[in-house]
Amino acid sequence: MSESLMPRALVLGSTSRYRRELLSRFRLPFETASPDVDETPQPGESPAALALRLALAKAHAVAALFPEAIVIGSDQVADLHGQPLGKPMVHDKAVAQLRAMSGQSMQFHTAVAVVCKASGFAQADTAVVRTVFRPLDDAEIERYLLAETPYDCAGSAKSEGLGITLLDAIESDDPTALIGLPLIRTARLLRAAGLVLP
């Protein structure tokens, strides 16, 4: 096979173990690279706009390092009544997030971008997941956080683990979006970029 017909390398522009595990479902070889992107929201930026901007920024940042590759960037922002909730990183912030989310309906915006610098391809899409948290008391919140320590998750809960017990409902047209990478949309973008999926 000539070099011009060789399939492009695939790079996941993320150090998230959740995204790495999800992308491995496609059974394609891929590398990972850390995108150096400032994730600070811009003044007045909505959670949906923030997720989309960061997914594109991450994909473009890593594509600059791997210009011949097809690069995936992704970002998730929890949206509580229009206010973005990031990763709590520490216990006290996670407690505060879960108290605020108790009994509330909220959305998670999970954006994915696919970029190939060499071909000029750049497209993005966002999956919206609506969740309803059941009313939570402080003892439940404490038990959950000590059991699962979800401090690296936007919104302080892992729906793929014990966090599912905190919820009354999840609604989405892309079931892996809440975990961190909407695979239906990712597959669609990768095919559009010229990658052959099994």
Render pLDDT for 75-114 as a digit per residue (tens, 0 to 9): 999 999 999 988 899 999 999 999 999 999 999 999 999 9
Q: What is the CB neighbour count within 10 angstroms for residue 84?
A: 18
Q: How far is it, in rounded angstroms, from Cα 109 to Cα 60? A: 20
pTM of this prediction? 0.91
- Looking at the chain, list the stretches that DSSP marks H as alpha helix, in order from N- to C-terminal side: 17-23, 47-65, 91-101, 138-148, 183-192
Render pLDDT for 173-194 as a digit per residue (tens, 0 to 9): 999 999 999 999 999 999 999 9
Q: What is the CB neighbour count within 10 angstroms for residue 117?
A: 19
Domains of the chain by start residue, with CATH: 3-192 (3.90.950.10)
The answer to whether 38 is a known catalytic residue is no
Q: 3-class DSSP state for residue 115?
A: strand
| Residue of 36, 38, 75, 125 marked active site | 75
User: Residue 85 class from Cβ within 10 Å (0-12 exposed, 13-18 middle, 19+ buried)?
Assistant: buried
Which of 110, 3, 5 lies closest to 48 in space, CA to CA? 110
Q: What is the pLDDT at residue 2?
A: 37
Q: How far is it, in rounded angstroms, from Cα 31 to Cα 102? A: 38
Q: What is the pLDDT at residue 143?
A: 97
Which of 108, 112, 13 lies closest to 55 in space, CA to CA? 112
